[in-house]
Amino acid sequence: MSESTVKLRGALLLDGQHHKPFSLRNIQQQSQRSQFSVQSQQSYPPDTSDGVATTSTYLRRGNLENLPPVFAPSNAAEQWRIVKSFELISFACRRLDDALKCGLDYEKWKPDTTLKECLEQYGPNELPKPKMESYLTLWIHSFYDIMMILLVIAMIILFAVGDVVAASAILIILLIATNIGAYTEYTSNKAAADLGDLPGVSLVRSANHPDNNQGWIHVVNTKLLPGMIIQLKTGDIVPADSIILSQNEECHCNEAMLTGESEPVHKVEYYVDGDDQQDTKKPDTIMEKKAENGDEDEEKALDENSHRKEQDILHHREAMTRLYMGTEFSGDCVALVVETGERTQMGRIFQAMADQEQEMSPLQKMIDKLVLILALVSIAASVLNAAVCIPTGRGVQPDSEDPQALVCVLNSVALTVAAVPENLPVALVIALAAIIKNLAKKDVIVKSLPAGEELSRLNYVFSDKTGTLTKNEMTARAVVTSEGFVGLQDQFVGPQDCTPLSAESVLSSQLPTYVRLLAAKAQDELRSNPTGDACKQAYPKELDSDENIIFERVLLETATSTTKLARMAVNINGQDYLAKVGSDWVLRGATGRATMATDLGSFSMSTVEKFDYDQSMQSLEAWAKDGYRVICVAVKPVAELPEKIVEGEEGDFGDGFIFLGCLVLQDPPREDVADNIKVIRGAGVVVSMITGDNPLTGMSIARQVGLADNLTKEEEQMCLINAYEFFRDMSEEDAKAEIRVRLDFSMTHKMGLIIGRVSPLQKRWFVEVANDMKLVTAMTGDGANDAPALRGANVGIAMGNGSDIAKAAGDMILVDSSFSGIVEAIRAGRLGFDNILKFLLFLLGTNISEVIIYLTLTFADVVIVLDALNLLVLNLLTDGFPAIALSLEKAEGDLMKRAPLRRDTSVLNRFTYISITITNLGLLISYVVVILVGNMWYLGNFRGYDTGAVDDYDKGLKQTRMMFILLINIAELLLGFSHRAPDRSIFSIGFFSGKWMNVSSLSSMLIIILMTHLPGVKNVMGTDYLDWQGYLLVAGMSVFPFLVHEVAKVLIIEPFNLSVYELCKYEYTGSKTKKSITKEASSMSQPDPEAP
């Protein structure tokens, strides 16, 4: 041979596309164009004088004979395989210049190359981490809020004029508010950053290492590089994307965190076929030949289905040789690292998450808008007050010793303090933290504070099936023979047209026991198979009638995938059998069937009945439609067992098998799911099932839990979707258009969709379309590939047993993966919104009234008796304590019996304006009455008229201030009680039924009384004792705002349905009418949902 024609078997999936295999011939052709020389060889393994081949024997691109020791192979055969792998990695890329994006760059591997230099080139083998800002940085950023800036300005002014007490009080409030916000964000970011760590070390080949005779050294996973050879054993987590070079035993990888499939994936070593002329009928050869000939007519003539199958085969070949970072490995192999860090599949998923822009939640938008409005109002009011006060002296004490301008500035500062709700950040954090704490007690972890409130608007849930709606515990339900079935639980009822066997026939036959034991033995031998426990669990005694059944010898091998077929050579009680255990593939080689009367100790094809394939398939379909998984068992008696199982061309031992029966398994629904479905649908939330399982199985579970009961044929046609078949030939644009039709139908008819065989990409499509339709969605997921869909949903819900990437992408985590956690989360989210609405209405009503009365007094030329310190204390104790208590309120009524709120629902709505107006009306009337009386009573003047009521003006000013402080305190505390039920009478839920409101109100009142009455402290507050008439006036006018608010709720808000839950409730208004959707459904071609 003058030129090697060795064919590289298999294909790689790079950058999302398949690439055909390369031979050394076309590698050399491309190399000549890129000035890359390849030295052809005569044979494999090559003959060398010292028996050891170097890399430069095969590829010559600089001096490669002195590769770094961590890349040194142990023998010629392995080195040859490494070179072939390098070629596959290098030349399968689109551009040769960028070929080694996934592998080694030969030009840069010089003899003096060090590991440190390599790490600088490729970067550490770790996933991208969230940007971690220091606590100090986050604390400084807290001051960027406009509300904080106003308070800082007020503090600086007070320090400048010498009011140290008031300035210090503002400083303390600023430190509390900013530290709470910074601490919350810092701990959240730190928890997210910790999820990206890759712990542990790996064994890496180093033939020249002096301290290790075995040639292996330990290397920290973060220092792995493309081209290193690593050793993996059972239980290891794959540290980087790799290709298997050799294996000592059968290898499997649990790739559930990537694909969502719970079944382990069978892995094989990458190998090279030495005959370029064989396999001419293989799909890759056909496609390569077509490309070389450039025959456009032949390309058009290829059947589309055949082409699709070819691509599936190529993808399957590549997947069987690849190990992906983060997946769980079982077996024993030596593998070649081909991609590390951000270039791995995990890294790409992390990057996709980072590229997605996180939209601000409605709560964040609402608070930002509210704070901006309050800031503008505060600035405008302060400027207006100064503009009126400085030139005219209105509102200034007549005999004040301070300059008039200074007094006016201090009054404007006090007005700023009155307008800014300093307690808003603290109350908001406490309200959302209460949601998180309550959900944590129910095994629901909410990671972000805004996500807690977002749950109140949730109107569409995409729920996973396995483990969420079901127990994720395969349970054996029945043993099926050709004559009927044996139920394994009391009162078990099988599908229609399936005959239950009598107890007598079961006791007299070994057939059900053989079926169960063979299925259990096969599943027991298959590593990491979740159905094994179900096959081995306890059964009724009648199925264990023969305790002497002994497996003396078992040989087992899987063909292609453990989910399809297990092949065994087994000796049972001295009888040798070849056995097949698996899905309906088992039936393909069956020509006979055993009955309950068959003697399994000595039977052959001549002693059994003829097998009817079509009838058996109909029976299996009947069980599948009812949501059961069927494991079929067939055996063939043989004279002698083989020494080992050799995979044949068919992979199934050929024909001549006798069908024994099936073991029927089911992952049953959780006991509480049906009730929770009723609750969540009663709350106006539509629930759809989205699963990678068979849609028929999904439909069966959906019927059992109440998601798809009483559907007409047309409705079932619209609701049942086999995503694999339905979307596989569609462009993304067409697929999203169909998804919109289905979601529109689902929302219009309040029916959930049953979406089976769905891929992570399709999950993302559903989320994007739902967002475009302005739905507020929750998406569940557990695999790393689900991360973009979780991030894209309004509320991403990761499963507790899911991957770290899914947990990092989700807004909340269901620790036990139970659907009841979603229901509890919605209930808690609605409670959180209720409490936020309560304290916002309370704070806005009370703060705005203080601003209005302050400006009114200035314009009326009435002495302003409250300074900045008085207002700060009142805001902290009188507003802050009740606001915090309102943020911790319990639910009033059944939160799950009302419709969800619209996504754009803001606290600034018609109900808010009505409520704030009513609150301010009552407070302003009380304020005006008390100020008028206090000015005439204690100051002896009103607008310059001397009444002569008092002789000591300074004492009268302190008494007026005392009256005003006590009035604000008591009146606002009573309004705090009233706001516990903002749209109905407080007496309907019990005036003293709120524990936290009782405690906070009593504490606030006692502190205010002590601060205004204790000697020494009252001098700082500038207050003095009242006479009994003053206390009586305060008590009477304090109740007035409460009575106004309560009467208005009973006479205005309740009768006219003016609550926020009526004004802002969500009502879907789709663009399609019911008639047009029905017409679309009837004309739409729905593919066979039974397709795999």
Answer yes or no: pTM beyond 0.85: no
Give which of 556, 422, 420, 544 is closest to 488, Cα–Cα.
544
Q: Are 192 and 301 in contact (CB under 8 A)?
A: no
Residues 461 and 555 grouped into a single domain: no
Give which of 247, 283, 301, 268 is closest to 21, Cα–Cα.
283
What distance in Å separates the CA atoms of residue 166 and residue 414, rounded to the nearest whole number? 10
Residue 1066: inside a domain: no
pLDDT at 66: 37
Q: How many CB atoms are closer than 10 A to CB 913?
A: 11
Q: Which of 666, 684, 717 is the last residue of a domain?
A: 666
Residue 961: inside a domain: yes
Q: Which of 289, 321, 350 is the last residue of a domain?
A: 350
Residues 402 and 434 grouped into a single domain: yes
Residues 387 and 345 grouped into a single domain: no
pLDDT at 749: 92
What distance in Å separates the CA atoms of residue 870 and residue 872, rounded to the nearest whole number? 5
Residues 321 and 415 grouped into a single domain: no
For 882-892, letters b (16+ CB in 10 Å) and e give bbbbbbbbeeb
Q: Are 395 and 858 in contact (CB under 8 A)?
A: yes
Residues 179 and 252 grouped into a single domain: no
pLDDT at 768: 92
The domain of 803 spans 445-470+671-817
Q: Which two tokens stand for residue 865?
A: 């008796």
Q: How many CB atoms are closer than 10 A to CB 620?
A: 18
pLDDT at 613: 85
pLDDT at 432: 77
pLDDT at 530: 42
Residues 507 and 587 grouped into a single domain: yes
| Distances in whole angstroms, Cα of residue 456 to Cα of each of 262, 624, 684, 832, 883 | 33, 38, 11, 8, 20
Name the burial class of residue 979, with classes exposed (0-12), middle (13-18) and buried (19+) by CB atoms within 10 angstroms of its CB.
buried
Residue 246 is which amino acid?
S
Q: Are 83 and 3 in contact (CB under 8 A)?
A: no
Residue 1080: inside a domain: no
Which CATH number characterizes residue 25's domain?
A: 2.70.150.10
Instruction: Considering only the C-alpha atoms of the chain, give the largest distance between any 2 of them, rounded to a whole number of Å.
Output: 127
658 strand-pairing partners: 592, 635
3-state SS, residue 379: helix
578 strand-pairing partners: 569, 636
Q: Which two tokens stand for residue 1077?
A: 């959707």
Residue 1090 is which amino acid?
E
Residues 205 and 237 grouped into a single domain: yes
Give which of 306, 235, 229, 214 is closest to 270, Cα–Cα.
229
627: alpha, beta or left, given left = phi > 0 and alpha = psi -120 to 50? Answer: left
Q: Which of 749, 784, 817 is the last residue of a domain?
A: 817
Q: How many Å is the Cα radius of gyration of the chain?
A: 38
Give which of 745, 734, 741, 783 is closest to 763, Cα–Cα.
783
Residues 410 and 482 grouped into a single domain: no
Range list of β-strands (E), 542-685: 551-558, 565-572, 575-582, 590-593, 609-610, 629-637, 657-666
What distance in Å separates the CA atoms of residue 338 and residue 227, rounded to the nearest whole number? 6
Residue 388: inside a domain: yes
Residues 646 and 783 grouped into a single domain: no
Which parts of the chain register pLDDT below 50?
Answer: 1-114, 192, 195-196, 198-199, 207-213, 272-302, 525-534, 536-548, 558-563, 648-651, 943-945, 948, 1072-1092
Residues 661 and 681 grouped into a single domain: no
Residue 1056 is which amino acid?
F
Residue 1092: inside a domain: no
β-bridge pairing 565-572 and 229-233: unpaired
C-alpha 665 chain-centroid distance: 29
The pLDDT tens digits of the residues spanning 665-686 come to 888 888 889 999 999 999 999 9
Report CA torsion sign: 280, 285, 287, 291: negative
pLDDT at 491: 63
Residue keyed to tokens 């944590």: 440
pLDDT at 801: 73
Query: Domains in the chain: how many in total?
Result: 5
What distance in Å separates the CA atoms of residue 501 and residue 626, rounded to the nearest whole number? 19
The pLDDT tens digits of the residues spanning 387-422 come to 988 888 887 777 667 788 888 888 888 888 777 787
Residue 1088: inside a domain: no
Residues 839 and 764 grouped into a single domain: no
pLDDT at 354: 63
Residues 38 and 54 grouped into a single domain: yes
For 798-807, letters b (16+ CB in 10 Å) and e give bbbbbbbbbb
Residue 592: inside a domain: yes
Residue 1075: inside a domain: no
